[in-house]
Amino acid sequence: PVERLPEIQEARLRLPVLAEEQIIMEAVKDHECVVLCGETGSGKTTQVPQFLYEAGFASSGGIIGVTEPRRVAAISMSHRVATEMNLSSGVVSYQIRYEGNVTENTKIKVMTDGVLLKEIQRDFLLQKYSVIIIDEAHERSVYTDILIGLLSRIVPLRNKKGLPMKLIIMSATLRVEDFTENKRLFSSPPPVIKVEARQFAVTVHFNKRTPMDDYTGETFRKICKIHRMLPPGGILVFLTGQAEVHSVCRRLRKAFPYKPNREHTDMMETEEDLKKSKRAKKKNVSLPRINLDNYSALPVDEGDEDRQAGIDEDDGEGSDLELELGDHPDTDHEEKADPSIPLYVLPLYSLLAPEQQAKVFRPPPAGSRLCVVATNVAETSLTIPGIKYVVDCGRVKKRFYDRVTGVSSFKVTWISQASANQRAGRAGRTEPGHCYRLYSSAVFGDFSLFSEAEITRRPVEDLVLQMKDLNIEKVVNFPFPTPPSSEALIAAEELLISLGALEKPARHGRLSEMEKARLSCPISPLGRAMAAFPVAPRYAKMLALGRQQGCMQYIITIVSAMTVREIFEDYDRPAGSEEENVKMSGKKARSVQMRRLWAGQGASLLLGDLMVLLGAVGACEFAGLTPQFCEENGLRFKAMLEIRRLRGQLTNAVNAVCADADVYVDNKMAPPTEAQVLCLRQIVLAGLGDHIARRVQAEELLDPKWRNAYKTPLLDDPVFIHPSSALHKTLPEFVVYQEIMETTKMYMRGVCAVQDD
Task: Give contact residues for ligand ADP (rule: CB under 6 A).
Answer: 15, 38, 40-47, 76, 80, 361, 383, 385
The least distance separating Mg ion from the CB of residue 8, rounded to whole angstroms, comes to 17
End-to-end CA distance of the chain: 72
Q: 219 is in the binding site of which of Mg ion, ligand ADP, none (Cβ under 5 to 8 A by kind)?
A: none
C-alpha 85/C-alpha 726 separation (Å) is: 53
C-alpha 216/C-alpha 245 separation (Å) is: 9
Residues binding Mg ion: number (CB under 5 A): 1
The least distance separating ligand ADP from the CB of residue 173, rounded to whole angstroms, comes to 11
Nearer to Mg ion (CB atom), residue 17 or residue 185? 17
747, 720 Cβ separation under 8 angstroms: yes
The CA–CA distances, whole Å, from 725 to 558, 684, 739, 753 equal 16, 17, 13, 12
3 state SS of 331: coil
Nearer to ligand ADP (CB atom), residue 88 or residue 448? 88
DSSP string covering 496-563: HHHTTSBPPPSS-SSPPHHHHHH--PPBPHHHHHHHTSSS-HHHHHHHHTTTGGG-HHHHHHHHHHHH
Select from 44-52, 179-187, 448-456, 749-757 the region that touches Mg ion (CB under 5 A).
44-52
The least distance separating ligand ADP from the CB of residue 344, rounded to whole angstroms, comes to 16
Residues numbered 683 to 702 that lie near Mg ion (CB under 5 A) are none
Q: 361 is in the binding site of which of Mg ion, ligand ADP, none (Cβ under 5 to 8 A by kind)?
A: ligand ADP
Nearer to Mg ion (CB atom), residue 69 or residue 299? 69
Q: What is the dihedral of CA 271, 272, 273, 275, to 10 degrees?
A: 90
Helices vs. strands in the chain: H and E counts, helices first: 25, 20
Amino acid at 620: C
The least distance separating Mg ion from the CB of residue 44, rounded to whole angstroms, comes to 5
Q: 76 is in the binding site of which of Mg ion, ligand ADP, none (Cβ under 5 to 8 A by kind)?
A: ligand ADP
The least distance separating ligand ADP from the CB of residue 147, rounded to whole angstroms, comes to 18
Contacts of 145 (CB under 8 A, 6+ apart): 453, 454, 455, 480, 481, 482
Q: 672 is in the binding site of which of Mg ion, ligand ADP, none (Cβ under 5 to 8 A by kind)?
A: none
Q: 604 is in the binding site of which of Mg ion, ligand ADP, none (Cβ under 5 to 8 A by kind)?
A: none
Select from 38-46, 56-64, 465-473, 541-549 the region that touches Mg ion (CB under 5 A).
38-46
Nearer to Mg ion (CB atom), residue 45 or residue 265? 45
Nearer to Mg ion (CB atom), residue 14 or residue 208? 14
- Strands 108-112 vs 33-38: parallel, antiparallel or unpaired: unpaired
Nearer to ligand ADP (CB atom), residue 422 or residue 563? 422
C-alpha 107/C-alpha 59 separation (Å) is: 8
Strand partners, 752: 736
The least distance separating ligand ADP from the CB of residue 79, rounded to whole angstroms, comes to 6
The least distance separating ligand ADP from the CB of residue 138, rounded to whole angstroms, comes to 11
What is the per-residue binding string for Mg ion in 181-220, x denoting contact by CB under 5 A?
----------------------------------------
The least distance separating ligand ADP from the CB of residue 38, rounded to whole angstroms, comes to 5
Of these, 15, 20, 35, 45, which contacts Mg ion (CB under 5 A)? 45
Nearer to ligand ADP (CB atom), residue 116 or residue 185? 116
Amino acid at 726: A
State the burial class of residue 610 (Cβ atoms within 10 Å of its Cβ: 0-12, 13-18, 19+).
Answer: buried
The least distance separating ligand ADP from the CB of residue 134, rounded to whole angstroms, comes to 13
Q: 466 is in the binding site of which of Mg ion, ligand ADP, none (Cβ under 5 to 8 A by kind)?
A: none
C-alpha 271/C-alpha 268 separation (Å) is: 5
Helix 608-622 with 637-657: angle, nearest 10 deg: 100
DSSP string covering 558-617: HHHHHHSS--B----SPBSSHHHHHHHHHHHHHHHHHHHHHT-SGGGGGGHHHHHHHHHH
3 Ramachandran zone, left/alpha/beta (phi>0; psi -120 to 50): beta
Nearer to ligand ADP (CB atom), residue 199 or residue 673? 199
Q: 46 is in the binding site of which of ligand ADP, Mg ion, none (Cβ under 5 to 8 A by kind)?
A: ligand ADP
Evaluate the CA torsion angle 656, 658, 661, 667 in order and state its sign: negative
Nearer to ligand ADP (CB atom), residue 38 or residue 459? 38
Interface ranges with Mg ion (CB under 5 A): 45
